[in-house]
Amino acid sequence: MRKKVTVVGAGNVGATVAMRVAEKGLADVVLVDIIEGVPAGKALDLAEAAPIEKHDSRLTGITGDYNEAKDSDIVIITAGIPRKPGMSRDDLLATNMGIMSSVVKEIAAVAPNSILIIVSNPLDAMCHMALDTSGFANNRVIGMAGILDSARFRAFIAMELDVSVENTHAFVLGGHGDTMVPLPRYSTVAGIPITELMSSERIDALVERTRNGGAEIVGLLKTGSAYYAPASAAVEMAETILKDKKKILPCAVYLEGEYGIKDLFIGVPVKLGENGVEDIIQIKLTDDEQKALNNSAEAVKTLVDDMKRLGG
C-alpha cells in the first residue's frame, strides 16, 4: 500500500512540505486548507511539476472535507496564524488553540493510527493541545523544533569555519524560542568539538544567533517568516518515520520524568522510527546546561498554564 502524508495548512510552510515530500518520493500527499481553492491549486501546480522533477507521488488538495486524509500514515500540522499588530499573546494562543483542536479532531476521526508532527506555533503548547485532543499515545505526537534550531546552529558553524555543512553536527534542546538550549559540547565538525575550533566568544555569538534565528529572518522579510528550513525539518522527521530509519534527532516530545521534567513537551534527542518516538535519549548535562533546560521547561509550563486558563 502506498504511504500517505497529509499536510494541514497550505501556506508557505505547508506547501513547501508538500513539495519536498512529493519530490523525495516519500508518499502521496493530501494538502488541506480552509481557503477555498488554495490547496487544490497548489496541489495541481505541484502535480504538473512532477514530470520535470521525476516523481509519481499523487497530490490532492482539499478544503474542509478531511475524508481524503483517511488512513494517513503521518499528518504534519502547520495551520495557525502569526501574531499580528495589536494582537495580545493570549489572543494568539486562544486562536491557535482553537485551530489545533479543530484540526486534530478531524484527523483523529479519519486517521486514528497516524503520527502527528506539529509545526504550528507556539510549538510546545500546540503539542499539548494536539495530544489532549487526539487521545493518541505520547509516542505519536511529536513537535518539530529541535531539528530546525540545530540546522540553524549547524549552518552558522559551517559559515564561521568555512566548512561543509555535511561535516557539522549540533544539538539544540529545550523549548522552541528564546529559552532554547544549544549545546556546544555536543556540537562537532567532522567529530571535532567546536569548543576546540573556535573561541568561546565566537561560540557565544553563534548560540545567540541561533536563539534569534527565526526573528532574524522575520526582520529581513518584513512581512513573513521562515519556511524553507522549517519545511525541511518537518520532512526529515517524516522521512525518518516512513523509512523506519531509527535516526536520533532533537524533537519536542512528552517527558515523564526524563531530564527531571514531567508532563511537558520539551525538545530532547529521540530515536524516531515507524512507531514515532521509539526512545528518549538521556545525555549527561552539566549543572549550567540542566539549569538552562529547566528554565526552558518553566517557559513552556507558563504557556501550558496560560492555555489551561484560556480553556484548553
Q: What is the CA radius of gyration of the chain?
A: 19
Chain region(s) in the chain for CATH 3.40.50.720:
4-143
What band does 222 get if pLDDT is binned at 50, 70 and 90? Answer: confident
For residue 308, which phi and psi values (nearest 5 degrees)? -65, -40
What interhelical angle do 123-134 and 89-110 show, nearest 10? 40
- Please give the Cα distance from 126 to 192 (Å, whole number): 36
What band does 74 get if pLDDT is binned at 50, 70 and 90? Answer: very high
What interhelical angle do 123-134 and 287-309 show, nearest 10? 60
Task: State the average pLDDT for the chain.
Answer: 95
**What own/partner pairs with CB < 8 Å and gap ≥ 24 does 278-283 have?**
278/139, 278/246, 280/253, 280/255, 281/248, 282/258, 283/171, 283/186
Chain region(s) in the chain for CATH 3.90.110.10:
146-309
CATH class assigned to 4-143: alpha beta
What band does 90 get if pLDDT is binned at 50, 70 and 90? Answer: confident
Q: How far apart are the first and last CA of the chain?
A: 37
The answer to whether residue 84 scores a pLDDT higher than 80 is no
- Grid cell, residue 305, equals 498554564
Mean pLDDT of 53-76: 96
Q: What whole-number percentage of the chain has pLDDT above 70?
A: 98
CATH class assigned to 146-309: alpha beta
Catalytic site residue from 55, 128, 169, 176: 176
Residue-wise pLDDT tens digits, 10-56:
999 999 999 999 999 999 999 999 999 999 999 999 999 999 999 99
Burial of 238 (0-12, 13-18, 19+ CB in 10 A): buried
Is 176 a residue of the active site? yes
